[in-house]
Chains A and B, each alone.
Chain A
Amino acid sequence: MSVLVFAENGDGKFPKSTYEAISYGFALATKMGTSLTALVLGEVSDDALKNLGEYGAAKVLHASDARLNGFNSSAFASALAQAASAEQAKVVILSSTLEGKAVAPMLSVKLKAGLVVGVVALPATDGPFVVRKKVFSGKAFADVQVNSEVRILTVSVNSFSLIKNPAAATVSAFAPQLPEGDFRMVSKEIAKSTNTLSVAEADIVVSGGRGLKGPENWGILENFATAIGAATACSKPVSDSGWRPHHEHVGQTGKAIAPNLYFAFGISGAIQHLAGINSSKVIVVVNKDPEAPFFKAADYGIVGDLFEVLPKLTEALKAFKAGQN
């Protein structure tokens, strides 16, 4: 018996969300009195694999198969299903990333295992298996009971802190049988934006709305984002007008994010926007309108003209950083 975590990698590297899933898996395995196994698909260096032990993986199964370097949900689900049965996993954990959310439902069908997507806490394991997830775009929580023998959970990104539980992970090769049908889909081209910090994963997000007036004004926002080490995001009308790329759009119909710190400059705070960001731990709003609804959802606010406030804030931040060194 064990807990199995799908340790998702991108280009051979593990993102923070993978370590969050491992930390979560280790906490759960400990609670269940069992150990944690991580499954890695695609070519990853031995050094990177060892890192998984840092967060509590006792065992790493590695399918070093070039066919699994790209993201193929069918093949990933086949491999995970085989690893789950080899390890007699009672719980399989994935990250609530784009990949995790595509693979987990397929795995659910293959294992006929109940799935809960976007969990934010550890499950109750004495008595029925009940776990908490976000619903209504973060406006509420639901406690979901899973009635199957094997359970699948995807862990909401930025909801579970990294916990170091150093252990020496034993790495073993794993060779899943992958049916040809899993390769009916062919990847033709991958276009990654040069912006390395992804909005979904960033600890700090700096977001701009229509109050910035036009794409040419984003420089002051980017300067601040760079100074504080944040990813940039935007409201829907901003990406709809082509001022910013679509992948920056947050909200009900864009990305749902949960950073530690979210800055909103010139965003009114419509309910659909809040739906994507209300899981942020701390929200700072800068708006010239004291009646802007966003202030009701904020922790800190400045009423003022962002074109004056933003540069000053950047200066103040730089002074603060300089003082820290």
Chain B
Amino acid sequence: MKILVCITQVPDTTTRISFTGNAFNAAGVQFIINPYDEIALTRALELKETLGGSVTAITVGKPDTEANLRKALAIGADDAIRVNADATDAYFVAAQIADVAKKNGYELVLAGKESIDYNGSEVGSMIAAMLDVPFVGMASRLVVEGEKVTLDREIEGGKEILESTLPLVASAQKGMAEPRIPNMRGIMSARTKPLQVLEPAAADALTAVISYEMPPAKAACKMVPADNPALLIELLHNEAKVI
């Protein structure tokens, strides 16, 4: 089975977010593979190990995203594609990935449930709509038997088990796989695995971020003595007015 895994890089989860002017301040920030994309990648590798086929990692991004693509290769992807463009709009990004998926006949496209920086949850289901194939979002389990795919997905207040056919696009969340850490052999072989750079296909960007703002700073925490919980209740009622 030919599997395409969408990889985006995000600031490390411990990053203190700041902005210079109207741009994200990337100075000193370490970028990692989006945690959900790592889960998707690992599941893709597991599927390849049992069913055969190949796993391709794809990123829409500038040259600075290549280190994380190499990391995807080190974890085990067979090859990687970087579409050389700034990823500023989900529609544009999805159009690039859908274009590659269509031209190369990938049967399964996996993305993460959301990027932890822009929190869109957009790219995966946009790709599905562009390819006109079914989409399962927030999948915590994905099993392939022949043409049949069985998935668990999160729904409001519980989970649902679904069956679909290939081709399919799914977005991964916790539970689908335990992310793998690259080993030494993986890291060595990643250097020689193919990483293809493509120029972007023509597509529109429909949105653009024009500015950022930090939320107002919190006032200092009001401390309540441990032996007076009634005071906390009173403050929540009379001062905060939330109960």
- Interchain nearest-CB distance for A58 vs B (Å): 27
> A177: which B residues are within 8 A, CB to CB?
none
Separation of A302 and B204 alpha carbons in the complex (Å): 52
Separation of A319 and B163 alpha carbons in the complex (Å): 51
Interface size on A, residues (CB 8 A): 96
> A115: which B residues are within 8 A, CB to CB?
90-91, 122, 206-207
Separation of A117 and B89 alpha carbons in the complex (Å): 12
Residue A237 interfacial (CB < 8 Å) = no
Using a CB-CB cutoff of 8 Å, which residues 82-103 of chain B contact chain A?
A: 89-91, 94
> B36: which A residues are within 8 A, CB to CB?
253
| Contact yes or no, B224 A272, CB < 8 A | no
Residue A275 interfacial (CB < 8 Å) = yes
Per-position contact with A for B113-134: 1 when CB-CB < 8 Å, else 0? 0001111111111101110111
| Contact yes or no, A316 B232, CB < 8 A | yes
> A189: which B residues are within 8 A, CB to CB?
160-161
Interface-side segment among B41-49, B68-76, B149-157: B149-157
Separation of A204 and B237 alpha carbons in the complex (Å): 13
Residue B243 interfacial (CB < 8 Å) = yes
Interface size on B, residues (CB 8 A): 80
Interface of A is mostly: mixed
> A309: which B residues are within 8 A, CB to CB?
226, 229
Instruction: Point out the residue from B122, B160, B207, B224 that lies within 8 Å of A187, measured CB to CB.
Output: B160
Separation of A305 and B229 alpha carbons in the complex (Å): 12
Separation of A97 and B156 alpha carbons in the complex (Å): 8
Using a CB-CB cutoff of 8 Å, which residues 40-57 of chain A contact chain B?
A: none
Please name the residue on chain A nearest to B124 by beta carbon.
A105
> A228: which B residues are within 8 A, CB to CB?
243
Q: A299-B222, A312-B229, A320-B237 are in contact. Are A195 and B121 (CB under 8 A)?
A: no
Residue A82 interfacial (CB < 8 Å) = no
| Contact yes or no, A147 B165, CB < 8 A | no
> A106: which B residues are within 8 A, CB to CB?
125-126, 128-129, 135
Separation of A100 and B198 alpha carbons in the complex (Å): 33
Separation of A282 and B223 alpha carbons in the complex (Å): 14
- Interchain nearest-CB distance for B133 vs A (Å): 8
> B209: which A residues are within 8 A, CB to CB?
142-145
| Contact yes or no, B35 A253, CB < 8 A | yes
| Contact yes or no, A105 B121, CB < 8 A | yes
Interface-side segment among A21-29, A178-186, A207-215: A178-186
Interface-side segment among B1-9, B11-19, B58-66, B188-196: B11-19
Separation of A130 and B22 alpha carbons in the complex (Å): 15
| Contact yes or no, A191 B158, CB < 8 A | yes
- Interchain nearest-CB distance for B13 vs A (Å): 5
A and B contact pairs by CB, cutoff 8 A, 19 listed: A73-B137, A97-B156, A105-B120, A106-B128, A108-B122, A108-B126, A117-B122, A135-B119, A146-B206, A185-B162, A187-B160, A246-B175, A249-B174, A252-B35, A253-B36, A260-B242, A281-B242, A299-B218, A300-B235
12 additional A-B pairs beyond A114-B91, A135-B212, A302-B223, beta carbons within 8 Å, are: A10-B157, A73-B135, A103-B125, A104-B122, A108-B91, A109-B129, A112-B204, A142-B118, A195-B157, A200-B156, A284-B236, A320-B230
Chain B residues at the A interface, C-beta cutoff of 8 Å: 11, 13-14, 17, 19, 35-36, 89-91, 94, 116-126, 128-130, 132-138, 140, 150, 154-165, 174-175, 204-215, 218-219, 221-227, 229-230, 232-237, 240, 242-243
